[in-house]
Structure 1
Amino acid sequence: MTVKRTAPPLLAGERETLRAFLDYHRATLAMKADGLSDDELRRQSMPPSTLSLLGLVRHMAEVERTWFRRVINGEDLPLVWSDEGDFQVAYDASAATRAEAFDAWQTEIEHARRIEKEAESLDVTGHQARWGEDVSLRLVMLHLIHEYARHNGHADFLREGIDGTVGA
């Protein structure tokens, strides 16, 4: 499967630009995992880290669910892989498969896109219980862009360690 990634527009409104950058970073993570086997996707960076590409995908499913469904939409539901609120559980991909991880991630992305599109504006707020503060959809989208950008840097190094693929 070849992942299609569209560059964000150079001239667009705030919401369209945020949406495009978020989708660009989502596609970047998918590209980093493209063409790899389950074993390659589970390959860990270096001891003592358990970080793997599959772990990053699982982690981002948790991030998408938490910020869009739990915070902005106010849904009372557990995390994807942990009902104890521990994001680190997602990083353990030792028994995970591409299908399981990517299906969960894509499901959460679809929910996130729906929630964002249904929101009246970027000023819509939700409550972030960990911070004890209300946050705007604008902040959530910027936070997700930041989160993906940081983890896509990790994904670059992980992919290079697996088969030497670099860039993009």
Structure 2
Amino acid sequence: MTTERLEPAPTADERTMLEGWLDYHRLTLAWKCEGLTDAELRTASVEPSELTLMGLVRHMAEVERSWFRRVLAAEDAGPIYFTEEDRDGDFHLSETDTWEEAYATWQAEIESARGNAARFGLDDISEGKHLRTGQRFNLRWIYTHMIEEYARHNGHADMIRERIDGAIGD
């Protein structure tokens, strides 16, 4: 299977553009993980880092959940992988962690995000607040932040994938 990524039309309206770029970056992360074994997806970038492709996918599931469920929709959605004792639990993998579970969880959070976002206009203010700052955000800010978050981590994914099997590409 080859993940097909399409950039949004250069003349799209603002919402279509934001959603298009967010989906493009979501698909980029999936593409960087494509065709690898669970062991390869648990391969760290370089010692002493624990950064892995599977860890990035788990992290983005947490990020999707945080912004679109907790902040935007004020859902009482607890963490998936991290705990108070292990704030980076999304990156801490064991041999029993699987791509199948990580991918399914990430996709479920993306679908939830899309459903919640569909209820809001770009200027609408979130129903919930950011856990640390107590701020509320409009949907435009959340979309822009999510694009930035994926773009940054897709840069990490590029380097990790190249280390694993030499595959390169944007």
Q: TM-score, normalised by structure 2?
A: 0.94
What CA distance in whole angstroms lies between the structure 2 residues aligned with 1:152 and 1:116?
Answer: 23
What CA distance in whole angstroms lies between the structure 2 residues aligned with 1:133 and 1:86?
Answer: 24
- Which of the two has greater strand per residue? 1
For 1:108-152, what per-residue CA distance to the aligned partner results, in whole angstroms no more than 9, with x for missing partners? 000011111122x11122221311211111111100000000000
Q: How many angstroms does 1:46 deviate by?
A: 1.2
Q: Is the 8 A contact 2:82 2:88 kept in 1?
A: no
User: Residue type of the partner of 1:32?
Assistant: K
Q: Is the 8 A contact 1:78 1:85 kept in 2?
A: no
Q: Is the 8 A contact 1:59 1:87 kept in 2?
A: no
Evaluate the alpha carbon distance shift between residue 85 and residue 146 of structure 1 in structure 2; reply closer, same or farther with a 3 A threshold: farther
Q: Does the residue aligned with 1:135 lie in a helix, a strand or coil?
A: coil
Q: How many angstroms does 1:97 deviate by?
A: 0.7
Is residue 50 of structure 2 the alignment partner of residue 64 of structure 1? no
Q: Is the 8 A contact 1:79 1:85 kept in 2?
A: no
Deviates more, 1:121-130 or 1:38-47: 121-130
Alignment of 1:115-130 (within 5 A): 115-119=116-120, 121-126=121-126, 127-130=129-132
Provide the alpha-carbon RMSD of the alignment.
1.3
Alignment of 1:1-168 (within 5 A): 1-84=1-84, 87-95=87-95, 96-119=97-120, 121-126=121-126, 127-168=129-170
Q: How many angstroms does 1:85 deviate by?
A: 8.8
What CA distance in whole angstroms lies between the structure 2 residues aligned with 1:138 and 1:85?
Answer: 33
Evaluate the alpha carbon distance shift between residue 86 and residue 4 of structure 1 in structure 2; reply closer, same or farther with a 3 A threshold: farther
Q: How many angstroms does 1:94 deviate by?
A: 2.9
What CA distance in whole angstroms lies between the structure 2 residues aligned with 1:75 and 1:106?
Answer: 18
Q: How many angstroms does 1:62 deviate by?
A: 0.2
Equivalent pairs counted in the alignment come to: 167
Q: How many angstroms does 1:82 deviate by?
A: 2.6
Q: Is the 8 A contact 1:62 1:87 kept in 2?
A: no
